[in-house]
A and B are shown apart, each in its own frame.
Chain A
Amino acid sequence: MSAQSLLLKEAAGPGQDLNAQALRADARRESLRLLALLAPSLFLVCAIIIVPIGWLFWLSLFDETGAFSAANYARFFEQASYIKTFITTFKVAFIVTGACVLLGYPLAYMLSQLPRRAASICLIFVILPFWTSVLVRTYAWLVILQRKGLINSWLIDLGVISQPLSLANNFSGVVIGMTHILLPFLVLPLYASMKTIDTDCLRAGMNLGAGPAATFRQIFFPLSLPGLASGVVIVFVLCLGFFVTPALMGGGKVVMWAMRMEQTTSLYSNWGAGAALGVVLLVVTLALLGLFQWLLGARATGVWSSR
């Protein structure tokens, strides 16, 4: 057998294996390189978010004496103050989400119908507050709504009321402030989804004799529902964990979930109880987002890319 035929044999048989092996090794090396690019980010996220939360979860399983127990969770059903906090939180979340839908749907609808240029100018008014600090906007509402604030002094000057209305430092203040802050989170995904509705569908409806109202009700509105749903889920979830506005505008009377967490940990240093609150909040948040994703097959984080 000559050397040449041996080489040929080699190329047909084991050589191909070698080639495939080299390709596989190359792909593996490539994966490792990509992982190396991801590693610093993943490390930071794990170290700052995942590990501490896991640790808090572990802590929540022990009572004050250090014994393993479900006392931190049982408390939620036993103590009236916790139940009240949950009821307040869900009440605020429902009202704020409802207000955002009532205000946000017409706005998004208008934006989607305006010519491109006009729409992008109007969008600035939605995006600008979105990027303004939550503190600044909460402060603005305090100035507007408080006892000696703008609304009260205007109404008194106009003679509409004689005693100032209590608008801030209570439930209504929290709702107004949070609605203002969370409205863009509903409008932006809703607008983005309305833009993708094919106007041919609407035109076809009108051609077939439907009036504007019927076209809207039977064609446009159902097609806009997925966008509306993603906005609603985002707003509702953000409401549940909202801290700044209720802490500053609730006047100490409106205790929401996140405030309760801050109080139990900072004020009473009861880490187990605070951690348990956090774990339940996280579970509820993830469950709502998961349910949404399962129902609509969409990722709720998509809203962030629309900013």
Chain B
Amino acid sequence: MSGDIGLPISHRQRLWLYGLGGLVLLFLIAPSIIIVIMSFSDSTLLQFPPQQWSLRWYQSYFQSLEWRDATIVSVKVAIMTALVATPLGTAAAYAINRGTLRFNGTINALLTASLIIPVILVGIGTFFLYARIGLNNTLTGLVIAHTVQALPLVVLTVLSGLRSYDMNQERVARSLGAGRIAAFWQVTMPQIRFSIVSGALFAFITSFDEVVVSLFISGGETTTLTRRMFNALRDQIDPTIAAISTCLIVLSVLLLSLAQIFGRRH
């Protein structure tokens, strides 16, 4: 069984490595699993495994107006962010992929800046700017701020799709009389659409899970789910959060599998 990489080392000699790696994988995944299991506990105490099972924490999540409002805000913002960031990011990736612009390096650095710049600084800066132009505690403000956070992921995802696509196909379509937009829409787009969908999913989850910027710029009626969770965690550990966390984990799993499926087809 050493044929996989062709080295004369048997799997048995490597058992220690598999054991160690397995433990690290367990460390990575165990917290999520523990939370999912605990969310079905009947007790307010933290017992693991739970003695009695119930859905009471899910009930308290869905029945609480505060949590429900915050969830709705987060879903709205995440959908709008995906709708804004995806076309913008796709257009930007298309332009970067041509590679003919003189300042391509600078443009690239600018577009991926939000991955590098400490998010706390972005949060404070955005709050400061929004305070001047009245965008704090608004949905518009949240969507704009989250779009900036999501853009680099959309750009990188679509760019990787474009890199494996032969741009000559679009040139052929245009030489045959298709307009620029028609050529993109009918020839390029169908071949990179899976990357675009993956990018949109990443934009959605980036916005939905975003904490730090939302802490600064959301509040009142536009309090996002993550902001409310953060404040709740600062006070005390309410098992309702286990139910919410489980929903978030399920959402991540769903979106990630969708992205994987689309990614594979591409």
* A interface residues, Cβ below 8 angstroms from B: 27, 30-31, 34-35, 37-38, 40-42, 44-53, 55-56, 103-104, 106-107, 109-111, 113-115, 122, 125-129, 131-144, 146, 148-150, 153-154, 180, 183-184, 199, 202-203, 206, 212, 237, 240-241, 243-244, 247-248, 258, 261-262, 265-266, 271, 274-275, 278, 281-282, 285-286, 289, 300-301, 304-305
- Please name all residues of chain A whose beta carbon is closer than 8 Å to the beta carbon of B216 when the two chains form the complex: 266
A125, A139, A153, A300 — which one has the most chain B CB atoms within 10 A of its CB? A139
Q: How large is the interface on B (under 10, 10 to 19, 20 to 34, 35 or more residues)?
A: 35 or more
Which residues of B pack against A, CB within 8 Å? 4-9, 13-14, 17-18, 20-21, 24-25, 27-29, 31-32, 34-35, 38, 45-48, 88-89, 91-92, 94-96, 98, 100-102, 107, 110-122, 124-129, 144-145, 147-148, 151-153, 155-156, 160, 205, 208-209, 211-212, 216, 226, 229-230, 233-234, 237, 241-242, 245, 248-249, 252-253, 255-256
Which residues of B are found within 8 Å of A275, using beta-carbon distances?
Answer: 124
The 29 sampled A-B contact pairs (Cβ below 8 Å) are A31-B102, A35-B101, A38-B91, A45-B148, A46-B110, A48-B148, A50-B113, A106-B21, A115-B4, A128-B256, A129-B32, A132-B209, A132-B252, A136-B35, A137-B32, A140-B31, A140-B245, A142-B233, A143-B46, A143-B237, A146-B237, A150-B46, A153-B47, A180-B28, A202-B5, A203-B6, A240-B118, A301-B152, A305-B160
Q: Which residue of A lies closest to B205 (CB)?
A: A131
Q: With A34-B100, A115-B4, A243-B212 as known contacts, state yes or no: A301 contacts B115, CB within 8 Å.
A: yes
Nearest chain A CB to B116 CB, angstrom units: 6
Main secondary structure of the interface of A (DSSP, over half): helix
The smallest C-beta distance from A184 to any residue of chain B, in angstroms, reads 7
Q: Is the CB of B5 within 8 A of A199?
A: yes
Q: Which of B32, B116, B147, B229 sits near A132, CB closer than 8 Å?
A: B32
Please tell me if the beta carbons of A49 and B114 are within 8 angstroms of each other in the complex: yes
B110 to A: closest C-beta gap in Å: 5
In the complex, the answer to whether B256 meets A131 with C-beta atoms within 8 Å is yes
Inter-subunit contact B95/A49 (CB<8 Å): no
Q: Of A107, A144, A261, A282, which contacts B21 at CB under 8 A?
A: A107
Q: How far is the CA of A125 from the CA of B226 in the complex (A)?
A: 23
- Report yes or no: A278 in contact with B101, Cβ–Cβ below 8 A: no
A111, A141, A248, A278 — which one has the most chain B CB atoms within 10 A of its CB? A278
Determine which of A27, A37, A53, A133 lies in contact with B209 in the assembled complex, contact meaning CB atoms within 8 Å.
A133
Asked if A285 contacts B116 (CB within 8 A), the reply is yes
